[in-house]
Amino acid sequence: MISSFGKNKLAQALINKVESVLLNESVSVDEFALIEIDNNDLIIDFDIPSEVIELTHFAILDVDKKELASASVFVPRDSDTRFRYRLTITGGRA
């Protein structure tokens, strides 16, 4: 099992790798309203651009455009929308 200290160190390493978010496999966002660590959670807030009418998928990318995390979602957007993604670092069992 990963200790709390280890989970926090993993979250810190991950936060330093985040470069952009790819929305619906076509729209890139590289400005974040918030990117921080809360306990063992990586939290990223970003505004959904106006050209995205419905957010159905997003991927967190590193500088080389490699996927660090992704999720399928359904977020209809009819006005300015800020999206919050919370990635929780957990320990697994062998």
What does each of the 94 residues of the chain score in pLDDT, given as a tens digit? 788 888 888 888 889 999 999 999 999 999 999 999 998 889 999 999 999 999 999 999 999 999 999 999 999 988 999 999 999 888 765 5
Q: What is the pLDDT of residue 78?
A: 86
Q: Which pLDDT score is estimated for 18?
A: 95
Rg over CA atoms, the chain: 14
What is the pTM for the complete model shown? 0.86
Q: CA-CA distance, 69 to 60, in Å (whole number)?
A: 5
Task: Give 59's strand partners.
Answer: 22, 70
